[in-house]
């Protein structure tokens, strides 16, 4: 009896081991181990398990865009564009300083053939000559109280359309000597300095605040506005809608008037002296508020048609219209 029980006990004792081997794998989801955390060892903190994620495709476009932005702001792309412009237009002479403190800049003229000059305190002299198609600018700073050095890259630059812009406003008492080719459209604004132009053929627009404007052997449409200073033109050939105005100063003109244009010479306080060829043709309208009007020509309608309009006025000064010998 005891032997049988022992045999049965032995039989049932072996069955759980077999059952454990067959059912050792737990497939109940709620009883599965939590996969997001690794068991900590001594001194470690719980850390989430990193799972691989697929990167968004739009991130692939950010890399080349970032490279382009870095090159743009670092100056690489502008430098490449400048090299391309130099290869297209040819090299420009280097910016130079001379021993007397002056600086020289040269530009190749193209496109609109424009020149714009802004000066705070200094004389401007513009003339032809030099190399063909080259604009040369010599700037000399002579201000006694100006401790600012000439900019290392000069005071002039050239726009994409070919216009050369000279900005001497930051400098004190800067005189400019500029050589230009014929046919340029020139604009000058000088707050305190004289303007002189010699031998230039083109459109001139000159503004001075308190100094003389002197033009010699110029041709084309000319506009002069001087607030307080004399205006003098000699051997001039005016055309288009030319206007010479000074607020306080004398006005002197000697030259010819194109028959297809119209002309106005005006001073608020000063005399007006005009000398025209003996065969000139024009229709005159002259007025003086306080002074005589004298003319070497007969009447107000002179010569044969076509006759350009010539208007001369002075609020306080004489008017003299002379016939050249």
| DSSP secondary structure, 39-58, as one string | PP-TT----BPP---PPPTT
Is pLDDT of 162 > 80?
Answer: yes
Task: Answer for the pair 222, 241: CB distance below 8 angstroms, yes or no.
Answer: no
pLDDT at 90: 44
pLDDT at 132: 86
pLDDT at 25: 52
pLDDT at 74: 56
Is pLDDT of 259 > 50?
Answer: yes
Task: Give how far the C-alpha of residue 55 lies from the chain's centroid of Cα atoms, to the nearest Å.
Answer: 46
Alpha-carbon gap, residue 26 to 28, rounded angstroms: 6
Average pLDDT of the residues in 204-226: 97
pLDDT at 80: 53
Q: Which two tokens stand for residue 64?
A: 């080349």
Is pLDDT of 274 > 50?
Answer: yes
Within 10 angstroms of residue 293's Cβ, the number of other Cβ atoms is: 16
Is pLDDT of 88 > 60?
Answer: no
Burial classification of residue 165, based on how many CB atoms lie within 10 Å of its CB (0-12 exposed, 13-18 middle, 19 or more buried): middle
pLDDT at 325: 81
Is pLDDT of 86 > 60?
Answer: no
Average pLDDT of the residues in 149-166: 82
Closest CA to 291 of 269, 307, 308: 269
94-134 pLDDT tens trace: 344 444 567 899 999 988 789 999 998 899 999 998 888 99
Q: Name the pLDDT band for 65 (thresholds 50, 70, 90).
A: confident
Strand-pairing partners, residue 274, are 253, 321
Pick 27 or 178 by higher pLDDT. Answer: 178
19-61 pLDDT tens trace: 444 444 555 555 555 454 444 454 555 455 555 555 566 666 6
8-17 pLDDT tens trace: 444 444 444 4
Average pLDDT of the residues in 80-105: 52
Is pLDDT of 77 > 60?
Answer: no
Is pLDDT of 147 > 90?
Answer: no
Alpha-carbon gap, residue 95 to 84, rounded angstroms: 19
pLDDT at 113: 87
pLDDT at 102: 78
Average pLDDT of the residues in 143-171: 75
Strand-pairing partners, residue 223, are 205, 243
Q: Helices (H) and strands (E) in the chain — how many of each?
A: 3, 24
pLDDT at 89: 44
Is pLDDT of 261 > 80?
Answer: yes
pLDDT at 58: 62
pTM: 0.69
CB-based burial, 95-111: b 16+ in 10 Å, e otherwise = eeeeeeebbbbbbbbee
Mean pLDDT over each residue of the chain, to the nearest integer: 79
């Amino acid at each position: 009896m005891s032997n049988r029980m022992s045999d049965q006990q032995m039989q049932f004792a072996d069955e759980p081991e077999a059952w454990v081997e067959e059912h050792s794998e737990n497939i109940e989801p709620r009883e599965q181990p939590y996969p997001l955390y690794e068991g900590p060892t001594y001194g470690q903190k719980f850390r989430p398990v990193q799972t691989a994620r697929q990167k968004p495709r739009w991130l692939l476009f950010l890399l080349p865009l970032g490279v382009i932005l870095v090159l743009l702001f670092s100056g690489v792309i502008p430098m490449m564009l400048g090299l391309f412009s130099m290869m297209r237009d040819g090299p420009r002479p280097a910016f130079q300083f001379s021993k007397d403190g002056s600086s020289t800049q040269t530009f190749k003229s193209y496109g609109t053939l424009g020149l714009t000059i802004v000066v705070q305190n200094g004389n401007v002299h513009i003339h032809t000559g030099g190399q063909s198609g080259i604009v040369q600018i010599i700037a000399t700073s002579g201000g006694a109280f100006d401790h600012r050095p000439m900019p290392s890259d000069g005071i002039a630059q050239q726009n994409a359309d070919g216009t050369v812009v000279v900005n001497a406003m930051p400098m004190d008492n800067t005189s400019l000597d500029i050589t230009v080719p014929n046919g340029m459209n020139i604009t000058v604004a000088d707050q305190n300095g004289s303007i002189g132009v010699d031998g230039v053929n083109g459109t001139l627009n000159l503004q001075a605040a308190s100094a003389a404007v002197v033009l010699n052997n110029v041709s084309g449409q000319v506009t002069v506005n001087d607030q307080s200073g004399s205006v003098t033109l000699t051997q001039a050939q005016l055309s288009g809608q030319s206007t010479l105005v000074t607020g306080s100063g004398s006005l002197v003109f000697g030259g010819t008037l194109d028959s297809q244009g119209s002309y106005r010479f005006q001073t608020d306080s000063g005399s007006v002296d005009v000398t025209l060829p003996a065969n000139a043709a024009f229709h005159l309208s002259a007025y003086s508020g306080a002074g005589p009007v004298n003319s070497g020509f007969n009447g107000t309608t002179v010569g044969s048609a076509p006759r350009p309009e010539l208007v001369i006025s002075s609020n306080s000064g004489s008017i003299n219209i002379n016939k050249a010998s």
